[in-house]
Structure 1
Amino acid sequence: MAGLSILIPIFNRDVSELVHALLAQLPDWPGPTEIRLLDDGSDEKYRVANRLLATLPRVVYQELAANVGRATVRNQLVAKAKYEWVLLLDNTGQVTASHYLARYAAASSQAPVVAGGVRYADQAPAEPGLRLRWLYGRQREARPLAQRKAAAYDQLLINNLLIQKALLQQFPLDERLRGYGHEDTKLGWQLAAAGVPIHHLDNPIMHAGLETATAFLEKSEQAVRNLAQLLRQDNLGASSRLVQAARRLQRARLAAALQAALTLGEPLLRRNLLSTRPSLKALDALKLLWLLREGGGR
């Protein structure tokens, strides 16, 4: 069988637990395997911890001199991958299933792209500042298998995605998108336009690294800027509910009035999202405000 390269970009996280869990399951892939780690400008304490992984069999650890961002670091990992299949993971992942790689091996004959999905802990984190990220992950990212199959290309996550290397070389992640967000949106739409089949599988990775609400809001605003950039450059992401809502407001000539109202309410929306009981409706309202400011409804 074709070989497998597991690709993990690292930024300010010790990935020892994740790498050891994957190493234990490498024999379940019926072909040659490797785990490639590329540090994207982490603080030195994380580099010191992760350098020890370079001594492990079938693990390649390398470092970049400076942070290059999510799309660029993944593209570099893909370029260096030795084998025909690549498994894209985030450094926040945690393997919880004993047959995780075996399930991917069995499903690899179904399509050139196999999406395993993500899951989050059942219980809310004790630290209030982490609850917004947990809530968003549970309700927006950890989508049921039937829902993912019904919209196979929408909200595609490059975390926990098995894909043929040749496809990622044909459709590299867009390095024009700086910071956080929507490089996977563009990949999903490129695969859809090219008619590349995606097989959705119930093989989730646990998202074990939660950000504070403050950090998550900053990333969410950056993601909306990236979405607006995709709309301007490629008209990608036009089917998202956020974009459709903005465009309906533009057509009804209500966008300016709503933007003004949301601007007045922005402090209250932020206060809710930083509270112990955040509401995703408040986050949706902020995202709409950010997109209207970017002209994304036009």
Structure 2
Amino acid sequence: MTSGFTVIRDSTPSAAIPKGTVVAMGNFDGVHLGHRAVIAAALAMGRAHGKPALAVTFEPHPRSFFSPNSPQFRLSDETSKLRLLAGTGLAGAVVMTFDKNRAGTTAQDFIHHDLIDRLGISGIAVGYDFHFGKGRVGSPSLLVGEAPRLGIEVDVQPHVDIDERPVSSSAIRMALAEGQIDDATAMLGGPWFVSGEVIHGEKRGRDLGYPTANIRLDKNCGLKHGIYAVRVGRGDQRFDGVASFGRRPTFDNGAPLLEVFLFDFKGDLYGTALDVAFIGFIREELKFDSIEALVRQMDDDSARARAALAAAPAAFPKLGTIG
């Protein structure tokens, strides 16, 4: 395996896949504390075996395959997920395409064909509630039962709790939908972030004294509409700022848009890829009767965002480089 974080896909020749690796298997949406416990177990097992540790994950998310017409608020798209996984110390990821064939594969066939024959794993770590295979028959207990015959080690991680509440991707989605940024941050083990390219907008912010970097998020993003204190990454650079996510009811009540104002920054960001980490919720989105009232509120929002950022840990998602 080459140095760096390597991504293995269904199209990767079998000969190019290192054998004897240890894997952490899951959907890993958000790569939250529960996922990180599974990853830490795989890393520890890999060190004990003297083998690299990889993530095994699925794209698109199985829920999107089984419910294609239901909106799916993903905490991290494929690229963001891989960047988060690359920041954990894993050597790479196996991204398996979740399609009709994969959905119809029995648990036993998945274990024998995908994990043993193709990947040649020596160990696997999973969460207590992870299921796989046709009809979700595959389970941690099935892996444990098969382990002696297959000659692999299996580590099943229990659920992770915060304040006696289990950490889960669905709980984090709910927290974000309610603007509970502190709860989401605690369950993720760091701030939730989105990535996107800065696009041209209506340029209203420039006229108001608040030029913004506009990013179109996924249409299914369930983040509560409102104003947020944010930290922004551009490559290795970091900036503090304040952001609005919503429909701009004072102006056009249009499609949801993320508008980010960077403090103490001057320059052109159009076409630039930004990472925006959400640090604190300031207020809900409001409609104002005048531009003057809006600007006064924006001044107050900026002051509150600066205060929230000054009081918050200097944390930013730990992201690795893919490839």
Q: Tell whether the structures are fold-level matches, with TM greater than 0.5.
A: no
Q: Which has the higher helix share?
A: 1
Point out the structure with max Rg over C-alpha. Answer: 2
Question: TM-score under structure 2 normalisation?
Answer: 0.27
